[in-house]
Amino acid sequence: MRKLMWFSIGFSVAAILFAYIVPLSIIPFLGIASLLCGAALHFIKRIRVPVVAVVLLGLGIGCLYDYGFDALVLSKQRSFDGKTVTAYAEITDYSYPTGYGICADGKIKLRDEWYAIRIYTRDEVNFKPGDSLKAKMQLRYTSFGGSKEATYHQGEGVFLIGFCESILEHSSLPQVPGKYFTASLRHSILNRLDEIFPEDAACIAKALLLGYDEEIPFAEDFALSKSGIRHVVAVSGLHVAVLMSVLYVLTRNRFKLTAIIGIPVLFLFAGVAGFTPSVVRACVMQALVIIALAINKEYDLMTALATAVTGMLIANPLTITSPSFQLSVGCMIGILLVSNSISKYMMDKMHLDRWSRKSIRGKLARWVVHSIASSCGAMVFTMPLSAAYFGMISLTGFITNLLVLWLVSLSFCGIMLACAVSVIWLPLGTLVAGAVSYMLRTVLFVAEIMSKIPFTSAYTGSVYTIVWIALIYILIALYMMSKKKKPWFFVAGLVLTFGISLLATWLEPRSDHVRMTVVDVGQGQCVLIQSEDRAYVVDCGGDSGEYTARALICAMGAQGITRLDGLIITHYDSDHINGAPHLLDVVPVDTLYLPDIDPENQWRKTLSREDIPICWIRRETSISCGKGHISLYPLIQQEQSNESSMCILFQSENCDILITGDRSMLGERKFLQQCDVSQVDVLIVGHHGADTSTALDFLSAIRPKVAVISVGRDNRYGHPAKITLDKLKAFGCIILRTDCLGNIIIRG
């Protein structure tokens, strides 16, 4: 059976090459070459290497399969990239709000064929499964080979996105069709959770039961991430294992009955949870466990994992690009390869055999050991992935998991019980939900406490953290190769190198007179200015408010900053402010600096908090900032919000920085009347490089050396405009763009 595991490795490597590395035109030749090499190794007895032969067989078949998948599935959808069409679509799931408007999954009819699509519309409309619509929409292909960069949608099997320009027809059925039963059931469960749980607990109950994390407040979500237990609200193996444990109890461990009931329950649960890669992987593996027990056959975890992975990659080879898939599979590989060794070592050193397995002390000790070993094993393979995808890794995740995972399991059972009981009698279900709410609040409380402990996270925006992570794996390799294994030397090495990394992360930014970080927040603006121990942020907005706040916090953490002296908002446009409320929920800020305009603006009201002093800017204001000072230049007028942008000028002996917000050319000229500035070192280009800003006479007056454009990749506005880039080049500016470079750090 282990041959399937080796085959799966080759098949997975083929998917990686297909998705990330090898040009499509080379894939079939690589597949044929791999098959020929595998056949040669298999049949030539003198050099026969069975394992390598099976891996090459998997690689060859995988390459040819992926090439065929592209030819039969992807190429058709790729041909619609960038086209504007008027077509019929059918909605397959309930709609939900996003930063890009209302979003709903569906299928669209193009050239007499149906394709999966994710539809976005700015119209205030609610869709439900079975709705049909005729719409004019612009299509975008989500995978490689299109006119724009690939998106995360490809990992979910969605290769087309449709941006509605207008909805021409929209009709709904009285009832949701039976083929969308799982979507309807999911919607009903979410509504029932809202009905029986208190508001503060309902959001975490939805996430824990079904992976619906859209409503978790940012502060709580960030605490879960920083404390290392964010995975508990992403349905995965833990939830499936608890579900099946309940079923085993109900069937009294009658394996055949468990198989008959359990396999349909598993895949119903996977459907209700949205068929995410992590839950599909867990359900397939659990189904194989049930089948093996029912027919009294040996069960091999690695083979089961290989089966799940191969099946998912057959359904969609680009599942390999999904962070959920990578983290789920990496976690399982770490547990299977590493955790048993850690567990055995700890049990031997702690002499746990002296306690009976049936005694409370023995059970508790073994549970602690297995929990620590599982967490450490999972981290071996998931740490680099977490660092790459989230910009942050939790260093105390195994402790937090040890504290709350048992409570999470109880809460999961309690949520299921509350839902079931509420169907019979709603008041009793509400009573059970009230009791479970205390457990959920305890989980959040522990996460919050753990997240506030200093030095519990490492931020990968710092090169020193990246070096430290690399050193971890070098230390692991040296430890595994050493004959006399001394774990305390290994732990001491980890702690010492982390301390050095942390100190360097804190000291290095403070060696600069001035440091400016333009955070890559997509289509928006967020600028961090530091001098000595003072730190100010100018604007905090982007494509998504939560993403913007998280990106800024990671950028701050990568430079050893845990608090801000001030948050300055140039104006109240969403792409300059939508991350600010989330930031204030997590990071201590001494003072808010807000333009005193548009008193009825909702963003202005949202930021007005009793616990944070607000300085309303009505006239030119100067703020001390380390070895320089920041001058705020408001334009008090009730015109367009862009024209009301404050201009921000940081001046020091070594570096002058100018930020003009979204002011147009007229607003730039008014700034020149307000401030006598002859030259600046760095200009944050106005309005993300739009052609309405950056006037020639303005550039002539300030003559910037470096022009930084904060702009989103493939944004729908076409920023930055070619004419703006040409003007900046004509003045000899060094042009830096966040859509090309990510976070931009300038030292002065």
Q: The domain containing residue 100 runs over which residues?
A: 84-176
Q: What is the pLDDT of residues 452-475, one digit of tens each?
A: 988 888 898 889 999 999 988 888
pLDDT in tens, 644-681: 889 999 999 889 999 999 999 988 998 998 888 888 99
Q: Do residues 648 and 710 share a domain?
A: yes
CA distance 229 to 605: 33
Q: Which of 176, 204, 228 is the last residue of a domain?
A: 176
pLDDT computed for residue 168 by the predictor: 92
Residue 295 lies in a domain: no
* Same domain flag for 251 and 350: yes
Compute CA distances 189 → 196, 198, 209, 415, whole Å: 11, 15, 9, 11
Tens of pLDDT, residues 73-129: 999 999 999 999 999 999 999 998 887 789 999 999 999 999 999 999 988 889 999
Residue with the two structure tokens 């022009």: 707
Residues 28 and 145 in one domain: no
- % the chain with pLDDT above 90: 61
Domain endpoint, select from 78, 108, 138: 78
Q: Looking at residue 347, what is its pLDDT?
A: 78
Contact present, 117 and 161 (Cβ < 8 Å): yes
Concatenated DSSP letters for 402-461? HHHHHHHHHHHHHHHHHHHHHHH-HHHHHHHHHHHHHHHHHHHHHHHHHHHSTT-EEETT
Same domain, 524 and 541: yes
List, for residues 320-338, the tens digit of each pLDDT value.
Answer: 999 999 999 999 999 888 8
Amino acid letter for position 565: D
Helices (H), 295-359: 301-315, 323-334, 340-350
Residues 499, 479 share a domain: yes
Confidence grade of residue 736 (pLDDT, cut at 50, 70, 90): very high
For residue 17, give the DSSP letter.
I
Please indicate, yes or no, if residue 479 is contained in any of the structural domains: yes
Token pair for 681? 């070192």
Task: Tell which of 414, 430, 454 closes a domain.
Answer: 454
Looking at the fold, whether 21 and 156 belong to one and the same domain comes out as: no
467 shares its domain with 484: yes
Closest CA to 657 of 544, 747, 555, 540: 747
Quick one: average pLDDT of 265-293? 91
Given a cut of 70, is residue 532 above it in pLDDT?
Answer: yes
User: What residues contact residue 541 under an 8 Å CB cut-off, 6+ apart?
Assistant: 521, 524, 525, 526, 548, 573, 574, 575, 576, 577, 578, 579, 580
The reply to whether 577 and 652 lie within a common domain is yes
In a domain, 318, yes or no: no
CATH code at position 742: 3.60.15.10
Does 472 share its domain with 351? no
Side-chain-side CA neighbours of residue 124 (13 Å): 0
Higher pLDDT, 720 or 493: 720
Instruction: Judge if 499 and 393 occupy the same domain.
Output: no
Give the tokens for residue 389: 């995808």
Q: Is the pLDDT of residue 447 over 60?
A: yes
Q: pLDDT tens for residues 556-575?
A: 999 999 999 999 999 999 99
Q: Are residues 584 and 726 in the same domain?
A: yes
Question: Would you state the pLDDT for residue 101?
Answer: 84
Same domain, 363 and 448: yes
686 pLDDT above the threshold of 90? yes
Classify residue 542: in a domain, yes or no: yes
> Does residue 719 lie in a domain region?
yes
The tens digit of pLDDT for each residue in 347-394 reads: 777 776 667 667 777 778 777 888 888 888 888 888 889 888 888 888
Residue 223 lies in a domain: yes
